[in-house]
Chain A
Amino acid sequence: MRTEEATLRIIETARGKRAKFRDERVTMAHGAGGKATQSMIEGLFAPAFAPDGPEPLGDAAVLHDLGVAITTDSFVVKPIRFPGGSIGELAVNGSVNDLAVSGARPLALTLSLVLEEGLPAEELRDEVEAIAAAARRAEVEVVAGDTKVVERGHADSMYICTTAVGTLDPRASLSPAGIRPGDRILVSGRVGDHGMAIMLSRGEFELGADIRSDTRSLWPAADALLEAAGESLHCMRDATRGGVASVVNELARSSAVAIVLREAAVPVDPAVSGAAEILGLDPLYVANEGVLVAFVAAERCEAALAALRSVPGCEEAAEIGEVKTEPPGMVLVETGFGGRRVMDMLVGDPLPRIC
């Protein structure tokens, strides 16, 4: 019979391999940012578009020769307005943030609107204003656009697709490959606000709480970190779908390092942790729209954290963990209770447990 260690090795080897796309149909899990999404990207898209391409897939494509970073994104949130924001604001901030965490100052974005037949003009006007306001705040220009209308019953009022471009910041030398054992891990604010605000605003749970989306541009946070830590800032990620847990799992895997998080150090709004407790979810897996995860060399950690906390909206930034060597590819959590557990990538959609 196999030993426990041998079994664990088999699992780790399997985890380290490029995922295969073997599903018969697309399910909601393929959009949740966890393992199914990963299998679709690594097993279908990457082999087709970049068979010899660079392995780690970042939030934006960095074109060093041109000095720019470029990213593309779509927004299909339901409902389109929610506490703390709306789909238009999300579209701008989400695009800008992919650039910011790639070390690029956001410059311009293009906008493609897919509108549902029958959408009240007032709602469209509101979203256009929300886009314009968010673009002003994020200091990006909306430079081109396209519009399509689809029949009633499709597109849940509206979908928004964006492409954004930014100029590479000379202070930035960011890459998953730059992550080193000993690096400290920072988050720029409270986790789980956005995902929980959306879940509650759908009204399916009859849970009332004052939880607002954290949608915001992360360029000021990235800028502050680049200024305070420079080359000691090794990598940044935008912790959107799948939450902080999915981001650190991806990085642990692609950089072949171990990551240890301290659960008690993770800033979570008490209302979010209460709702997560009731719904049986872990805030670390819940989506954010204004939280970045940064890997900083230990000696610049304090300065980076202080700089981050001085940015409006990032007052609750915290150091939540450390990069280690063993076991490579794994994320471990030191629980507040004093035990330890493995924190894997999200499997499927975050489905609540029944009891």
Chain B
Amino acid sequence: MRFVDEFRDAELGRVLAAEILAAVEPGRHYKFMEVCGGHTHSIYKYGVDDLLPANVELVHGPGCPVCVIPMGRVDDGIAIAHEPGVIFTCFGDMMRVPGADGSLLEAKAAGADIRMVYSPLDALRVAKANPDREVVFFAIGFETTAPSTALTLKRARAEGVSNFSCVCNHVTIVPPLRALLESPDLRLDGFIGPGHVSTVVGARPFEFIPSDYGKPVVIAGFEPLDILHAIRMILAQVAEGRCQVENQYKRVVPWEGNLRALEVMAEVFELRPHFEWRGLGFISQSGLKLTDAYAELDAERRFSVPGIRVADPKACQCGEVLKGVIKPWECKVFGTACTPERPIGTCMVSSEGACAAYYNFGRFAREREVV
């Protein structure tokens, strides 16, 4: 595939790997967090960590949009899906996420009309094709997917589609990062910044990380060469004593972000006072809801939602995995009570989750050269 394979070139990968090896100080241990679940997925899919020296460790961050949805929100969604006449739509990998009483996939098997869509616009199309049914879209994701939800809601209102509404679970990236950085047990030397989110928000929102917390950030693309390149750039900052936000993903991410997308988001969404994250608890001003102008498209106002609050399972150590305090395999239930088939915690749910990625792709103990 043109314009894709170029970024998966094994020869260039070896060159970058050699540069990374030359840039690390022997005897020093480096811990970098890739914020975004898409990076985690690529790292395992291409075996990127195979090419890294043993003293460069990648920690998987909180940026998997499916994984961070708390159980109570899933249960609320299932309750709406079971309402008579409702067609409930959501993204594919959301369907497997367990609530307190099963997943959307199981609710579908139990009779609810739940359909997978690839885009919120597909959900709107379902609504137009079924005017006598209530069609609900379960919106999830960071700033990456929020603009497409916002545009869809704008279009629904402009076209007067009255049987369409949205459960808004959109979240923002900066508050959880700040929460992580505030955590006293956090041990990180730098961040691989989220490429897709930055496409929308730009690079500026991450400047607090070097300025307030003294950690370098390199925003990176999702191909294996992008990730190696970003690691090389972070190591250069460390070696040169610099600490700033750099943009490796210039071919896609403008420094100022996508102003039109941000405008649409500001028109349709406003911040919730606080929002619950699986594994991380409540984080203030981290979630989005529809503004009053869009109240009639808000499924949470249209349906009587139970507003279920379910505590994370006690045995689950997702919070510590997300903070990089422990590795997936160090969790008490990893691979035993918590597996991709029967996930307990957020990190095992989506293939982008740190634990699922490690379980699926990374659990073969590798023989590495000790540097």
Contacts and interface: CB of A to CB of B under 8 A. Distances in A.
Contact of A338 (B10, B196, B341, B362): B10
B335 A337 contact: no
A173 B65 CA distance: 50
A342 to B, nearest CB: 5
Contacts of A342: 360-364
A338 B14 contact: yes
Interface of A: 1-2, 4-5, 7-8, 10-11, 14, 24-29, 35-36, 204-205, 270, 273-274, 277, 279, 327, 330, 332, 334-342, 344, 347-348, 351-355
Contacts of B364: 8, 327, 330, 332, 340-342
A25 B95 CA distance: 15
Contact of A337 (B47, B327, B340, B360): B47
B1 interface: yes
B363 A337 contact: no
B138 to A, nearest CB: 11
Contacts, number: 136
Interface stretch (B48-56, B169-177, B283-291, B299-307): B48-56
A97 B50 CA distance: 39
Contacts of A337: 8, 10, 13, 46-48, 224
B237 interface: no
Interface string B347-371: 0001110000001111111100000
A270 B96 contact: no
A27 B106 contact: yes
B66 A354 contact: yes
Interface residues of B, number: 59
Contact of A4 (B105, B360, B365): B365
Contacts of A204: 118, 122
Nearest to B361: A341
B92 interface: yes
B86 interface: no
A14 B335 contact: yes
Contact of B92 (A327, A330, A339, A351): A351
Interface string B21-51: 0000000000000000010010011111111
Contact of A27 (B13, B105, B339, B340): B105
A354 B64 CA distance: 10
B141 interface: yes
Interface of B: 1, 4, 8, 10, 13-14, 38, 41, 44-51, 65-66, 91-96, 102, 105-106, 108-110, 116, 118, 122, 140-141, 144-145, 196, 224, 327, 329-330, 334-336, 339-341, 350-352, 359-366
Contact of A24 (B94, B106, B118, B335): B106
A348 B105 contact: yes
B45 A351 contact: no
Contacts of A27: 105-106, 108-109
Given A277-B1, A339-B47, A342-B364, A351 B118 contact: no
Contact of A351 (B1, B116, B361): B116
Contact of B145 (A10, A341, A354): A354
Contact of A341 (B65, B340, B362): B362
A353 B92 CA distance: 7
Contact of A355 (B65, B95, B336, B340): B65
Contacts of A205: 118
Contacts of A24: 102, 106
Contacts of A340: 47, 50, 364, 366
A330 B102 CA distance: 30
A279 B91 CA distance: 12
Contacts of B196: 355
Contacts of B330: 1-2, 4, 7
Contacts of B41: 353
Contacts of B93: 351-354
B140 A354 contact: yes
B21 to A, nearest CB: 14
Given A14-B339, A351-B96, 5 more contacts: A10-B336, A336-B10, A339-B47, A339-B48, A352-B118
Contact of B359 (A1, A11, A335): A11
